[in-house]
Amino acid sequence: MAGSTAKPLEPRLLAVAGEIRAETYADIGADHALLPCYLLQTGRVRRVIVVEKSRGPWENARRALRGLPAEVRLGDGLAPLAPGEVEVLSLCGMGARRMVRILSAHPERLPSRIVLQPNDAAEPLRRWALEAGFALSNEQMVPGFWYYTVLTFVRGSLSPAAAYQGLPREVALRYGPLLLAQRHPLLRGELERRRAYLRRLPPVERVRLEQAYLEQALALWDA
């Protein structure tokens, strides 16, 4: 974009940015709009629609995007978007369950490519995608304040169950089918840390169940 320099992004948002190229793209819950600004300034997208639920973040986004080909709408989730209006959608930096509520509220407004960066466990999003007919096309683990997962879902080109083939389904839903298939080194470290933590807890049913899933996941590295 003429006359503007893209600010460096933190690794989690950089990982999301690498998954996005579009004419028109929407970011739901953008706050300071760092990601949409970066995408516009690096030419990865031509036009942005930001949706913000709260007035303060809506004003932050308006300020950040002033002078850029962007529209900042005040509203809840996908409600202010028309069906087919954007090609790619992102939601970053919020809880996975909140994301599922937003994505489920207006299925007819979802584009065929969605990039998600939850701040907690991604399992509810993997479950949502299977139900909604979206396939996981990429899964990244990114260091930051903690390890973030960045998930890219597509509809139409891949079978939603494809990523899960050959893996124990419940284990893959919890820890990530593509991360497990890659034997991702950061995931292995995380699973080992979790194993050590669970061993210090009283062996109640919930802990024993998680331990069983965790051991199945770790066994994949030795298979």
Ligand X SMILES: C[S@@+](CC[C@H](N)C(=O)[O-])C[C@H]1O[C@@H](n2cnc3c(N)ncnc32)[C@H](O)[C@@H]1O
Binding site for ligand X (CB under 6 A): 28-31, 51-54, 57, 76-77, 92-94, 98, 102
The CB-of-58 to ligand X minimum distance in angstroms stands at: 8
The CB-of-129 to ligand X minimum distance in angstroms stands at: 19
The CB-of-220 to ligand X minimum distance in angstroms stands at: 31
Cβ distance to ligand X smaller for residue 68 or 158: 68
Cβ distance to ligand X smaller for residue 94 or 181: 94
DSSP string for residues in 74-143? ESSTTTTSPTTS-SEEEEEEE-HHHHHHHHHH-GGG--SEEEEEESS-SHHHHHHHHHHTPEEEEEEEE-
**C-alpha span between 43 and 35 (Å, rounded):** 12
**C-alpha span between 34 and 9 (Å, rounded):** 7
**C-alpha span between 95 and 163 (Å, rounded):** 23
Cβ distance to ligand X smaller for residue 31 or 123: 31
Cβ distance to ligand X smaller for residue 58 or 164: 58
The CB-of-108 to ligand X minimum distance in angstroms stands at: 17
